[in-house]
Amino acid sequence: MALQAGIVGLPNVGKSTLFNAVSNSAKAQASNYRFCTIEPNVGLVDVPDERLAKLAELVQPNRVVPTQIEIVDIAGLVRGASKGEGLGNKFLGNIREVDAIIHVIRCFEDENILREEGAINPVSDKEIIDTELQLKDLDSVEKKMQKTEKNAKFDVKAKAELEVLQRCKAHLEQGKSIRSLGLAPEERTAIADLFLLTEKPVLYVANVDEPSMHTGNKYSETLKAAVAEEGAEVIIMNNSIEAQISEMEEPEDKALFMDEYGMKEPALNRLIRSAYHLLNLQTYFTAGVQEVRAWTIGQGWKAPQAASVIHTDFEKGFIKAEVIGYDDYVQYGSESACRDAGRLRIEGKEYIVKDGDVMHFRFNV
């Protein structure tokens, strides 16, 4: 599943430094000037999962394959982007293509790092981004309203769409994002073709200074208060420290470095897991001598659909799935032991896959 989370924020807040930390397949340029990132950088990121390591420990396979998501480093946005300022429409177009947003906000003081917006103010920084996205969405909604109004006079479907568009317009004009409007699934179809920027789920990263990396600071607390009504998560991290950890190749070196900073794991791991769940994704596993592997699926997927991520033929010729719950697999230690204990289930086409299921598919093409 090629689902993407895009890293956004004002210039020089630490976006590319964060991308360098998370990406295991590409390195973004991180420099202290406006629009250092012009074309978006894309990197595949392994999703940390202790369950995969535990299964590998039990099975001892020839190889272990984690699941991944794509992280996109998008150019810094400036005030007036919705009207073409800075990289304007190019930036906003790049955001439109991602499935979720990781919004990096500067929560530290450093006179050596340029800042065009005056004193450090995470709430103001957030509002600048929000406003530009809302203005762009408002333009998209108004254009569709003009087309829909003509048909709404004699078409029931068009009339219903117009009502949804009018609600979206009023919401955006109040300075609110579409994701907080609470549209029902059937109502979302009215705006599905617009790929609205403010409808995308958001995860906030408070990029703090080194002394604040465990507890946060006054800036990150202000940010948390500002996003509380959104129900959004705020990850506190020092992007520079995370980038240093990611550059270390030896596990021993990483462990010593993190121990020095009192870290049990990189904050980056929490970020990646949070981004993964923000996209409404979950994981199932296949476990055999040749390979133990994690597979990404959407929440609520049924067994044949889950099988399709291995190969489309698995879905077409699906017969049944052999399923072992992760906890059962760990408790009994092997597939054969689970089978003997009656903990291996045979599930059909209507089975909704659970996060952590260990599965084997039977199919016929």
Q: What is the tens place of the pLDDT at every residue in 47-97?
A: 999 999 999 999 999 999 999 888 888 765 555 544 554 444 556 777 888
177 and 252 part of one domain: no
Given 139, 169, 198, which residue is the final one in a domain?
198
Relative to beta strand 291-298, strand 345-347 is unpaired
212 and 82 part of one domain: yes
- What per-residue confidence (pLDDT) applies to 110? 82
In a domain, 191, yes or no: yes
Calculate what percentage of the chain has a pLDDT beyond 70. 88
Instruction: List the single range of 64-73, 205-214, 307-316 with lowest mean pLDDT.
Output: 64-73
In a domain, 294, yes or no: no
CB-CB contact of 125 with 105 (8 Å): yes
- What per-residue confidence (pLDDT) applies to 173? 95
Give dist(CA 111, CA 364) in Å, integer. 65
CB-CB contact of 322 with 346 (8 Å): yes
What pLDDT band is residue 11 in, cutting at 50, 70 and 90? Answer: confident
17 and 89 part of one domain: yes
Q: How many domains does the chain have?
A: 3
Give dist(CA 236, CA 213) in Å, integer. 6
* Start-end of H helices in the chain: 15-22, 50-59, 88-96, 122-152, 156-173, 185-188, 218-227, 239-247, 251-260, 267-278, 303-307, 312-316, 326-332, 335-340
Give dist(CA 195, CA 92) in Å, integer. 11
User: Is pLDDT at 164 greater than 90 in this prediction?
Assistant: yes
In a domain, 172, yes or no: yes
Question: What spatial distance separates the first Cα and last Cα of the chain, rounded to whole Å?
Answer: 23
Q: What is the DSSP string of 316-355?
A: HTEEEEEEE-HHHHHHH-SHHHHHHTT--EEE-TTPBPPT
In a domain, 310, yes or no: yes
Instruction: List the single range of 87-91, 128-132, 310-314, 356-360 with lowest mean pLDDT.
Output: 87-91
- What per-residue confidence (pLDDT) applies to 29? 39
CB-CB contact of 344 with 323 (8 Å): yes
Give dist(CA 355, CA 191) in Å, integer. 30
- Output the 3-class SS for 78-112: CCCHHHCCCCHHHHHHHHHCCCEEEEEEEECCCCC
Give the burial string for 232-248 (b: 16+ CB within 10 Å, else e). Answer: bbbbbbbbbbbbbbbee
Binding site residue list for ATP: 12-17
Mean pLDDT of 298-303: 96
What pLDDT band is residue 317 in, cutting at 50, 70 and 90? Answer: very high
**What is the CATH number for 359?**
3.10.20.30
Neighbouring residues of 219: CB distance < 8 A, sequence distance ≥ 6: 106, 107, 108, 120, 122, 206, 208
- What per-residue confidence (pLDDT) applies to 116? 65
194 and 207 part of one domain: no
245 and 348 part of one domain: no
- What 3-state DSSP class applies to 189? coil
- Give per-residue pLDDT as tens, 323-362: 999 999 999 999 999 999 999 999 999 999 999 999 999 9
CB-CB contact of 216 with 204 (8 Å): no
**What is the CATH number for 29?**
3.40.50.300
- What per-residue confidence (pLDDT) applies to 12? 80
- What 3-state DSSP class applies to 292? strand
- What per-residue confidence (pLDDT) applies to 44? 84
- What per-residue confidence (pLDDT) applies to 96? 82
| Tokens at 177, concatenated | 């994002």
In a domain, 323, yes or no: yes
143 and 180 part of one domain: yes
- What per-residue confidence (pLDDT) applies to 232? 86
Give dist(CA 331, CA 78) in Å, integer. 53
What pLDDT band is residue 163 in, cutting at 50, 70 and 90? Answer: very high
85 and 96 part of one domain: yes
In a domain, 120, yes or no: no
Given 198, 213, 232, which residue is the final one in a domain?
198
What is the average pLDDT value for the chain, to the nearest integer?
87
In a domain, 341, yes or no: yes
Instruction: List the single range of 24-28, 215-219, 240-244 with lowest mean pLDDT.
Output: 24-28
In a domain, 137, yes or no: yes
205 and 192 part of one domain: no
- What per-residue confidence (pLDDT) applies to 20? 82
Residue 62 sits at φ, ψ, to 5 deg, of -70, -30
**What is the CATH number for 188?**
1.10.150.300
- What per-residue confidence (pLDDT) applies to 168? 96
- What per-residue confidence (pLDDT) applies to 342? 97
Mean pLDDT of 287-309: 96
| Tokens at 123, concatenated | 């709430």
272 and 213 part of one domain: yes
What pLDDT band is residue 247 in, cutting at 50, 70 and 90? Answer: confident
> 174: domain range?
129-198
Amino acid at 39: E
CB-CB contact of 64 with 291 (8 Å): yes
71 and 18 part of one domain: yes
80 and 149 part of one domain: no
111 and 205 part of one domain: yes
Higher pLDDT, 169 or 247: 169
Dihedral of the alpha carbons of 116, 121, 122, 124, in degrees to the nearest 10: -80
Higher pLDDT, 111 or 197: 197
Determine whether 156 is exposed, middle or buried from the number of CB atoms within 10 Å of its CB (0-12, 13-18, 19+).
Answer: exposed
- What per-residue confidence (pLDDT) applies to 34? 38
